Each structure stands twice: as C-alpha cells, then as structure tokens.
Structure 1
Amino acid sequence: MAKEIENPCVSLCQLNSELCVSCGRTREEIRKWRGMKRPEKMATVQRAAARVKALVKKGGKRQGRD
C-alpha cells in the first residue's frame, strides 16, 4: 500500500487573502485536503512548496520554518 501523503500544515495558519503563507496552500486546497486522493495531495504539496519558495525568495518571512 502507498504511503500516506503528509499534510504540509505547520499549525501556524496565516491566510493572506487566499493563500496560507505558512504552508503555501490556498484556502480551497486546505478545505479539500481530507477528501483529496493521493495524486491530488502530491500535486498540492508540490504547488505549495513552490509557492513558499517564491514567498521566501521575494523576501516574505515565513513563520514556523525560518
């Protein structure tokens, strides 16, 4: 059986409009997480990581993982 995809939540929710600046997921992705299938979760985690990387590169401070 395939390993469960770990939720990227770092328990420091800070929504900036539609995006959590702590984990990188959109409000919609957070809401749908539990119902997502494995491939959807994998894609969400990859998108979230890219968003966080872009935020850090832009100079935005991320709490919880700095």
Structure 2
Amino acid sequence: MTDDVWKRNEIASPCVKICVVHPDARICTGCYRSIEEIGGWSGMSDAERARVMDELPARKSSLTKRRGGRRARLNKT
C-alpha cells in the first residue's frame, strides 16, 4: 500500500549515495552534480532539474579515474 499523501510529482534526485567530490572537476563522482546543484536541488524548478539531468551523462566522461592507488603514488619519482 502506498501513501499518496507523500507522493510528489517532481524530477527525483539522481543521487546514488556515493558522495565523493572529484578534487579537480568539483563534481560528485556518484551523481555527477556540482556541489551547488546538490545543495540547491530542493529549490530548483522542474525546468532547472531537467536541464541538470540532461547534462549529467556528458559529465561522466569528463572525469578521469585515478589508476594504481597507493602503489602508483609511491612509484612516482
């Protein structure tokens, strides 16, 4: 049974509960939103949320992943 009283008709947050901000891009590596977009999400209009959602797939490819972990850092000379 669902409670229709609490059902909201809005664009849901893209949050996937992996909240790590990329140090260079300043974008969450989980949902690809900026800190400003995350903080302002609840106050955005549907049009603003739709614009952000449309931009997210392109942001994913702009993030570079660090490879090698601790070993790679130690081997830098």
Q: What TM-score comes out, normalization by structure 1 length?
A: 0.71
Q: 2:41 aligned with 1:39, yes or no?
A: no
Contiguous gaps of at least 5 residues in structure 2: 1-8, 67-77
CA distance in 2, matches of 1:5, 1:38: 6
> Which one has more relative contact order, counting CA pairs under 8 Å at least 6 apart?
1
Q: What do residues 13-52 of structure 1 show as CA deviations (whole Å, max 9, x unaligned)?
A: 0111321011110011101100000000001111122211
CA distance in 1, matches of 2:57, 2:44: 17
Aligned match of 2:69? none
CA distance in 1, matches of 2:62, 2:16: 16
Q: 2:33 aligned with 1:19, yes or no?
A: no
More strand by proportion, 1 or 2?
1
Aligned length, in residue pairs: 56
Instruction: Give 2:11's match in structure 1, choosing from 5, 9, 17.
Output: 5
CA deviation after TM superposition for structure 1 residue 9, in Å:
0.4
